A and B are shown apart, each in its own frame.
Chain A
Amino acid sequence: MSGLGTSGVIGTSGTSSASGASSASSASSTSSRRRAGVAWHLGAWVVLAVVLYPVVWVVGAAFKPSREIVGSLELFPVRPVLDNFRGLADGIADIPIATFFGNSLFYAAGSVVGVLVSASLTAYAFAKIRFAGRKLLFTLMIGTLLLPYHVLLIPQYVMFQKLELINTYVPLLIGKFLATEAFFVFLMVQFMRNLPGELDEAARLDGCGHLRTYWSVVLPLCRPALITSAIFTFINAWNDFMGPLIYLNEPGKYTVSLGMMMFRDQEGVANYGGMIAMALVALLPVLAFFLAFQRYLIDGMATSGLKG
């Protein structure tokens, strides 16, 4: 969840004015400046190497024979093998790997739809409609941002158990469709408040109802905030561990996270390579999603920079 706090900044940090906080105003000689530049990049690359090591490691390890994975210090195997991936084709406990990925995809895509619809509707009400009680509700909504989820965990479980919804995706998805992800509501409220008010006021004067204004004027302008929310919702759901752990108990319904835990319990050390290979495959969608949508994020910044 800690990734959440950032999305707003990525989405709205404005134009990429690269001018830093430094003030190298003194007229130093070019050579010392160049040396400082080299030292800067060197420092940055050292941090980068440490930070990216685990990611590179898992890529290399997936192509190593099982027994070489932990002990060997080489980042990449001398003779890469594909056995680990071939082993995945057999599935885990008679369940094909694709089932887990399908389940995760369903959960993540469902979450994205739910959050986009419910958070944007709620945010529109907070940002664009004036009505009695709005401030109080907004304060309550912000309050839920700081509430530890664990206080709700047990009663929610009890409720879903009474409703016989354990081992379905309803408990995992319903909150997404009911805008309980307050962070995204907050993000969209901030974004909508910054939109030029003349646009939706003009729409209202032209006789558009709120629904029409929301759908045809506000929502298209909110694309950057919607994309940011979608990316983070997808990744959070894909990575989610606690929710599926508590609510799903039939292996055929497991998400990738649970599938990997089952893999470890069943095959453990014997098929260490297979486990790492699956871990790598599970990681790929997140990385791909992030890399692919970087451009959208930057587009979003550019459009939000236009409003000036």
Chain B
Amino acid sequence: MTLVKDPPGRVRARRLAAPPAFRRRDRRDTLAGYLFMSPWIAGFLLLTAGPMIASLYFAFTDYNLFNTPSWIGLDNFTQMFADPRWRKSVEVTAKYVVIGTPLKLLLALGVALLLARNGRGQGFYRAAFYAPSLIGASVTVGFVWRALFSDDAIVDRAQSLLGLHVGGWVGDPEWVLYSLAALTVWQFGAPMVIFLAGLKQVPRELYEAAAVDGAGPLRRFWSVTLPMISPVLFFNVLLETIHAFQIFGSAYVVSNATCGPADSALVYTCYLYQKGFKEAQMGFASAMAWMLLVAVALVTAVLFWSQKRWVHYEEAAR
């Protein structure tokens, strides 16, 4: 493998110089390489590849953890599509992804642009805005969120001042999902730090050139900033969307372990958890997991396909 990569002339020269020793080192390297990554290989086979195949098999079986899995063909899938709660969970998750992710990314980009304009205190602001992303997944924040969005708490009072009387969000089937979306938006710090790093890489000359050409701030953002940070934008969109599909902990904790009221916070993984670990329908839950995988793979594929149109990599531009 290594020989192929070198320029042909050099390879021949090296070979002439010391062929046996070199080849011995080559073989030793291969051995060392596999030894060094043996933990990962073991983990990949035992905890990733094996379970993936098993999960695909379970998806076509009736299995409750204690019986022998019995093959039932597509029954889990037909049952799933006919199940109103499953459809509800798809709807809730889709809504969560579609509302939460764009808002989070917009806020992240907006604040990153704001911070990039001024160097003073940037380190402090960056750390402070980032902190929620570190603690957002914790049960503590789930508790706090439930408190802040319950009846008579701050959010309720604030919206009453605006003449909106909807009460606390967490007890209201119409609103609980928005409190979850707010929770993910609150964690905008992670994508923001990535945007900020991307913004720092934009050469200043480009802005100066654009300004000389008479481009206003909006035009400069649209024609310079956005194309230059599009790889970072792509990365953030991809990662945040994939993560949003998999929301579990915050929905579970904020809804008091019910994923309700009335299934209004029944995100996909919450239903998967209930089916697999409360009702021991491992086959059905595996089928659900594979549907999630397919959905995530489709979204990923569409994003990768679309990046040709809007993501500009520097190498390609030059």
By a beta-carbon cutoff of 8 Å, the part of chain A in contact with chain B is 1-6, 9-10, 13-14, 16-23, 25-26, 37, 40-41, 43-44, 47-48, 51-55, 57-58, 61, 69-71, 73, 117-118, 121-122, 124-126, 129-134, 137, 140-141, 144, 146-159, 161, 174-175, 177-180, 185, 209-210, 214, 235-236, 238-239, 241-242, 245-246, 256-257, 260-261, 264-265, 275-276, 279-280, 282-283, 286-287, 290, 294, 298
Contact = CB atoms under 8 A, between A and B. Distances in A.
B118 A37 contact: yes
B262 interface: no
Contact of B36 (A13, A52, A129, A158): A129
Contacts of B117: 20-22, 40
Nearest to A129: B33
A151 B289 contact: yes
A4 to B, nearest CB: 8
Given A44-B115, A241-B252, A257-B138, A146 B33 contact: no
Contacts of A214: 36
Contacts of B296: 146, 148
A131 B30 contact: yes
Contacts of A151: 51-52, 55, 289-290, 292-293
Between A21, A157, A159, A256, the greatest number of chain B beta carbons within 10 A of the residue's beta carbon is seen for: A21
B277 interface: yes
A48 B197 CA distance: 20
A41 B194 CA distance: 21
15 contacts: A20-B116, A51-B129, A58-B140, A122-B39, A125-B33, A144-B44, A146-B238, A151-B293, A157-B276, A161-B65, A179-B43, A180-B48, A235-B134, A264-B256, A282-B139
Contact of A2 (B121, B243, B253): B243
Interface of B is mostly: helix
A290 B131 CA distance: 8
Interface in B237-254: 238-240, 242-243, 245-246, 248-249, 252-253
Given A44-B114, A51-B132, A54-B148, A23 B50 contact: no
Contact of B47 (A5, A133, A152): A152
B200 interface: yes
Contacts of B200: 13-14, 17, 19-21
B68 interface: no
B138 A282 contact: yes
Interface string B31-52: 0111011011111101110111
B255 interface: no
B10 to A, nearest CB: 15
Contacts of A153: 272, 276, 289
Nearest to B45: A178
Contacts of B144: 54, 57-58, 279
A9 B147 contact: no
Interface in B133-168: 133-141, 143-145, 147-148, 150-154, 157
Interface in B279-297: 282, 285-286, 289-290, 292-293, 296
Given A40-B117, A73-B154, A179-B39, A47 B129 contact: yes
A130 B2 contact: yes
Contacts of B33: 125, 129-131, 134
Contacts of A152: 47-48, 51-52, 55
Contacts of B79: none
A129 B141 contact: no
A178 to B, nearest CB: 3
Contacts of A147: 48, 52, 293
Interface centre among B29, B44, B135, by most chain A C-beta atoms within 10 angstroms, is B135
Contacts of A159: 51, 54
Contact of B65 (A61, A126, A158, A209): A158
Interface string B175-213: 000000000101101110110110110101001100100
A58 B113 CA distance: 30
Nearest to A144: B48
Nearest 9 CB-CB pairings of A with B: A18-B119, A178-B43, A131-B33, A155-B51, A125-B36, A155-B54, A20-B116, A23-B207, A179-B40
A210 B51 contact: no
A20 B277 CA distance: 50
B98 interface: no
Contact of B58 (A37, A154, A260): A154
A246 B139 contact: no
Interface in B96-119: 111, 113-119
B153 A71 contact: yes
Contact of B249 (A13, A130, A242): A242
A156 B190 contact: no
B127 interface: yes
Of the candidates A44, A126, A157, the one having the most CB atoms from chain B within 10 angstroms of its own CB is A44
Nearest to A204: B25
Given A178-B39, A241-B252, A279-B140, A5 B111 contact: no
B274 interface: no
Contact of A286 (B36, B134, B256, B269): B134
B133 to A, nearest CB: 5
A23 B205 CA distance: 9
Contacts of A129: 29, 32-33, 36
A85 to B, nearest CB: 15
Given A13-B200, A51-B186, A177 B157 contact: no
B225 interface: yes
A239 B190 contact: no
A18 B122 contact: yes
